[in-house]
């Protein structure tokens, strides 16, 4: 399990305090969501600016120089908007705040949008002049915190309404309906642009925060495992070393007055040191106090932290009822559960895993399956499963595994009163 937790820890690394490379998000769906959001935002922005606004420019009664200037400004605004939106998606701090936008692209996009607005403002027919400025304001608003974002949008809406009213008056549109439309339509265009852009990015920000919470959960799972290991090691080493120190001090005092008793004390020290070494090895290898119940609970937590949907189908009678497996058998199946979980984390790109445990045909059966198998079928399992298969055969059970095109299944069976033959830690190596 330590190998699996190290994999989780590596998966939670970030790059310079910014969001990590999305290539490491396989299995969480975040890569696809990022791609969908990017194409939706950039595609919608480019479509509105190039297709809708460009078509309106070509059909308007503008001189040749104005059409050419609008084409250049439109291209600059579109490219700047796409670049800024891409930067907004990629550059998010761990606390959820966006990074600063590149000043050059901000100035280019703002200048292009302002030029389009100035050239098209005299048309004053359908508020088309406000499309490019509204789009750029919406893009820039994505880089601001909510309060400042609201101030920017409110100020831009007020300016757009004033400019629309002035353009209507200058053009001689004295009718109340025409003037009211010229005043209200530009702020409405801004509201639509801001709602579209900010709504898509809101969904992305929520998904990014959920992904960060998943990474934090994985880190907490690693820390919990390390604390448990440290506590076990402290309990073993603290007790043994204290006794060894006291007996060594006693043997040193008896060395001159009672050599025979001193030798006996040193023999006891040797025995305690050997026992401490064996217990330490057992803790390091992860076999001390391993039970099926603990490993199923740990697998549920660790797999969920890794973004894997783990479903547990456990028979209540087999887990804590009259059909409960004997302690040695629970220990063996706990090792199988741990090895299977480690293999899912290390050797697959699984999105789903299923654990079934119950009593069938007078014996306990543990079945662990997952999708996302990496490699060709038939490549074989690691040394951990082969070693555990020998252990289960010695206890009267069996361990089998099957690898299909995209699925790996591990099945362990044990009699209800499996013995403890061959239970030495050296035989139990499950290094997968």
Indicate whether 138 pLDDT > 80.
yes
Number of domains observed in the structure of the chain: 3
Among 17-31, 95-109, 214-228, 405-419, name the one with the lowest average pLDDT: 17-31
pLDDT digit string (tens) for 285-314? 655 556 788 888 878 877 776 678 888 888
**DSSP code at position 410:** E
Instruction: Indicate whether 173 and 32 sit together in one domain.
Output: yes
Q: Are residues 146 and 93 in the same domain?
A: yes
**pLDDT of 4 strictly over 50:** no
Instruction: Tell me the whole-structure pTM to 2 decimals.
Output: 0.48
**Does 327 lie in the same domain as 211?**
no
Is the same domain home to 206 and 331? no
Q: Confirm whether 35 is domain-assigned.
A: yes
Q: What percent of the chain has pLDDT over 70?
A: 77
* Domain around 240: 231-285
**What's the rounded Cα separation, in Å, for the pair 144 and 201?**
12
192, 216, 240: which is the final residue of a domain?
216
- Give the residue, 243 or 7, on which the prediction is more confident: 243
- Residue 6 in any domain: the answer is yes
User: Which phi and psi angles does 346 have, rounded to 5°?
Assistant: -90, -35
Residue 431 lies in a domain: no
Tell me if 334 is assigned to some domain. Answer: yes
First to last CA, the chain: 10
Are residues 187 and 123 part of one domain? yes
Residues 248 and 358 occupy one common structural domain: no
Mean pLDDT of 14-37: 51
Does 257 reside within a domain?
yes
Give the pLDDT band of residue 274 (cuts 50, 70, 90): confident
Domain-embedded: residue 226: no
Tell me the DSSP string of 361-394.
TTEEEEEEEEE-B-S-TT----HHHHHHHHHHHH
For residues 113 and 137, what is the distance between their CA atoms, to the nearest angstrom?
9
Tokens describing residue 154: 């409110």
Report the mean per-residue pLDDT for the chain. Answer: 76
Residues 184 and 312 in one domain: no
**pLDDT of 38 above 60:** yes
Q: Mark whether 157 and 279 lie in a shared domain.
A: no
Residue 359 is assigned to a structural domain of this protein: yes
Of 299, 323, 392, 309, the C-alpha closest to 351 is: 309
Based on the fold, state whether residues 18 and 95 are members of the same structural domain: yes
Q: What is the pLDDT of residues 69-109, one digit of tens each?
A: 989 999 999 999 888 888 887 766 555 567 788 899 999 99
Confidence of residue 12 (pLDDT cuts 50, 70, 90): very low
* Same domain, residue pair 160 and 306: no
Q: Give the domain CATH number at 264.
A: 1.20.5
* 173 and 271 inside one domain: no
Tokens read off for 16: 């310079």
pLDDT at 175: 60
Q: Which residue has the higher pLDDT, 76 or 179?
A: 76
On the question of pLDDT at 261 being above 70, the answer is yes
The number of residues in the chain equals 432
Is 424 inside any structural domain? no
Within this chain, do residues 173 and 251 fall inside the same structural domain, yes or no? no
Q: Residue 20 has what pLDDT?
A: 40
Contact 329, 414 (CB under 8 A): yes
pLDDT on residue 196 = 86
Least confident of 246-255, 267-276, 295-304: 295-304
Say which CATH number the domain at 319 has: 3.30.565.10
d(CA 79, CA 89): 16
């Amino acid at each position: 399990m330590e190998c699996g937790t190290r994999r989780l820890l590596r998966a939670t690394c970030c790059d310079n305090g910014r969001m990590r490379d999305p290539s490491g998000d396989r299995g969480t769906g975040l890569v696809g969501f990022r791609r969908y959001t990017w194409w939706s935002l950039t595609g919608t922005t480019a479509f509105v600016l190039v297709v809708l606004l460009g078509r309106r420019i070509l059909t308007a009664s503008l001189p040749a120089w104005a059409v050419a200037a609008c084409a250049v400004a439109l291209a600059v605004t579109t490219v700047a908007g796409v670049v800024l939106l891409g930067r907004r998606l990629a550059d998010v701090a761990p606390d959820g705040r966006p990074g600063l936008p590149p000043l050059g692209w901000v100035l280019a996009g703002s200048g292009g949008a302002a030029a389009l607005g100035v050239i098209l403002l005299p048309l004053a027919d359908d508020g088309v002049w406000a499309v490019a400025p509204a789009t750029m304001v919406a893009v820039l608003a994505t880089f601001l915190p909510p309060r400042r974002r609201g101030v920017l949008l409110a100020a831009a809406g007020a300016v757009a309404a004033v400019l629309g009213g002035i353009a209507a008056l200058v053009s001689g549109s004295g009718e109340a309906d025409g003037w009211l439309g010229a005043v209200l339509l530009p702020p409405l265009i801004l509201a639509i642009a801001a709602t579209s852009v900010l709504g898509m990015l809101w969904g992305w920000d929520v998904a990014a925060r959920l992904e960060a919470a998943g990474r934090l959960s994985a880190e907490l799972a690693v820390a919990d495992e390390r604390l448990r290991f440290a506590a076990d090691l402290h309990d073993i080493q603290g007790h043994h070393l204290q006794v060894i120190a006291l007996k060594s001090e006693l043997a040193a005092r008896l060395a001159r007055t009672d050599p025979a008793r001193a030798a006996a004390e040193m023999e006891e020290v040797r025995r305690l040191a050997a026992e401490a070494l064996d217990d330490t090895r057992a803790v390091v290898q992860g076999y001390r106090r391993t039970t099926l119940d603990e490993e199923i609970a740990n697998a549920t937590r660790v797999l969920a932290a890794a973004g894997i949907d783990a479903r547990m189908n456990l028979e209540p009678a087999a887990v804590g009822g009259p059909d409960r497996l004997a302690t040695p058998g629970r220990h063996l199946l706990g090792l199988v559960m741990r090895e299977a979980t480690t293999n899912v984390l290390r050797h697959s790109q699984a999105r789903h895993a299923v654990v079934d445990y119950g009593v069938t045909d007078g014996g306990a059966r543990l079945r662990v399956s997952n999708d996302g198998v990496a490699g060709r079928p038939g490549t074989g399992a690691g040394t951990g499963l082969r070693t555990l298969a020998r252990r289960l055969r010695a206890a009267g059970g069996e361990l089998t595994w099957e690898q299909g095109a995209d699925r790996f299944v591990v099945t362990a069976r044990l009699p209800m009163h499996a013995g403890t033959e061959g239970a030495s830690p050296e035989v139990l190596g499950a290094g997968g």
